[in-house]
Amino acid sequence: MNIDQLESVRPDLAFIAHWVKPKAHVLDVGCGDGAMMGFLQADKQCSGYGIEIADDKLLESAQRGINVIQQDMEKGLGLFGDNSFDTVLCLQSLQMMQHVEPLLRDIVRVGAEAIVSFPNFAYWPHRVALLRGRMPVSKSLPYQWFDTPNVRCATIYDFEELAAECGLEVLERVALAEDGAVVSFLPNLRGSLAVFRLRKKARPGL
């Protein structure tokens, strides 16, 4: 899979892939069908693992040649030591977790950097839906209220606050439109998907 093919399938992944350095050691938490890891391995000579719990997605990842581990992310990343990876990805998975903060802390523990993405609940069509008395349904939130796997709803500002509470440094923050384009003006209102690149804040004197 090349970058054009990745962009045609998932424009957000194509954007995020540019943040991963060539030959990086990567952990993809909630890797789904393995499209991202497959691209990183083939195009950027990255190595690493995917973590996925769903049987069908696990099979798809394995068929792509991904080293994939079947595990519930809610149980943490205790399999891996501190700073085991150059980059840890958690792309549109964090909002499906019951316990977001412990997993976020674990992600930055095992990786020198982390890239996290999630649907931005403050996106203007979501606000309009709520004003109409309905739960939002969009490309980034494609489920009905009764069958959604998302158990947490956050905005860009919410996540910035959580990152600060967890002692994380935001290296880059981007809002993406539904077509994967970067939203610069009023990103918390006009961005469908939030993407953060993070790392632990250095301790003073180090």
Q: Is the pLDDT of residue 106 over 90?
A: yes
Confidence at residue 205, expressed as pLDDT on a 0 to 100 scale: 53
Mean of the pLDDT values across residues 113-138? Answer: 94
Rg over alpha carbons for the chain, rounded to the nearest Å, is 17
More confident position, 4 or 173: 173
Q: What is the rounded distance in angstroms from the CA atom of residue 108 to the CA atom of residue 2?
A: 28
Task: Name the pLDDT band for 131 (thresholds 50, 70, 90).
Answer: very high
The mean pLDDT of the chain is 92
Task: Name the pLDDT band for 204 (thresholds 50, 70, 90).
Answer: low
Poorest-pLDDT segment among 105-109, 143-147, 152-156, 194-198: 143-147
Mean of the pLDDT values across residues 144-172? Answer: 92
90 within 8 A of 29, measured Cβ to Cβ? yes
Q: Provide, for the chain, the percentages of residues in helix, strand and coil under a 3-state DSSP scheme, each rounded to the nearest 5.
A: 35, 25, 40
Dihedral pair phi/psi, residue 39, rounded to 5°: -65, -45
Q: Is the pLDDT of residue 202 over 90?
A: no
More confident position, 16 or 143: 16
Q: Which of 44, 40, 75 is nearest to 61 (CA)?
A: 40
Confidence at residue 98, expressed as pLDDT on a 0 to 100 scale: 87
Task: Name the pLDDT band for 9 (thresholds 50, 70, 90).
Answer: confident
Q: Is the pLDDT of residue 156 over 90?
A: yes
